[in-house]
Amino acid sequence: MFFIAGTEGETSTVQTGEFYCPECQDRTIYHHNQVHEVATVFFVSVANLRLLGEYIECQSCGNTYEMDILDYDPEQEQRDFEALYLSGLKTVMSMMMSVDGNIDETEKGMMKDIYEKITDSELSDSEIEREIEFCRLNPIGLEKCLNELFPVLNESGRETVIKVAYWISIADGKADEEEIKLLKKMATRFQISSAHLKGIILEVNELASE
């Protein structure tokens, strides 16, 4: 009597559920699949030997994902992005106000106006003072802020940050040397060329003169 024995990979579904599929951009049904190395006798699977891998498969589009896709929450991701963006804008505006060592009330007023237009909510005087104090105590905070914003913003988003900074710089009449220097630093970090920056400045100046 002889045996025909061997091993092969076998995929099985161990769990099903609902998740947010990035490809479908909607909640869909998933299968949690595992691939085991199995022992076979006469080409029949008789035992699982070891787990070779596992993955999530969307039942709508067929795409497969790593297991951590089950933790993906687009709504929380949007909330996190909004919090990061608004915090970044406040840091940028506060740093621009502080860079020349002279914080003007018109600059604070401009910061309030910009924040309200973007968020449809008010920024209190105490919040502005806290932001200014934070920037004073954390001079490297701007660098950290720009580094966090850069990978999550597209070109339009980065341009908006530069525009906001420039609006603050001219709130008291004219951007001084230190403010322009900081503006150029921001533009460089956001990979905005000198020509592009000049265009942004020209655009804001034209709007300000209307």
E-assigned strands of the chain?
Answer: 5-21, 26-41, 44-58, 64-65
The residue among 132, 197, 205 whose CA lies nearest residue 167 is: 205
Instruction: Give the model confidence (pLDDT) of 147-166 as tens digits.
Output: 999 999 999 999 999 999 99
Instruction: Give the model's confidence band at 102: pLDDT under 50 very low, under 70 low, under 90 confident, else very high.
Output: confident
Q: What residues pair up with 15 in beta bridges, in sequence order?
A: 32
Question: What pLDDT does residue 42 have?
Answer: 46
CA distance 190 to 76: 25
User: How does pLDDT run across 153-209, given as a tens digit for each residue?
Assistant: 999 999 999 999 999 999 988 899 999 999 999 999 999 999 999 999 999 999 988
Q: What's the pTM?
A: 0.71
Q: Does CATH place domain 74-208 in 3.90.1570.10?
A: no
How is the chain split into domains, by residue range? 5-71, 74-208
Q: Is the pLDDT of residue 5 over 90?
A: no
What is the per-residue pLDDT for 174? 87
**CB 165 within 8 Å of CB 183:** yes
More confident residue, 197 or 98: 197
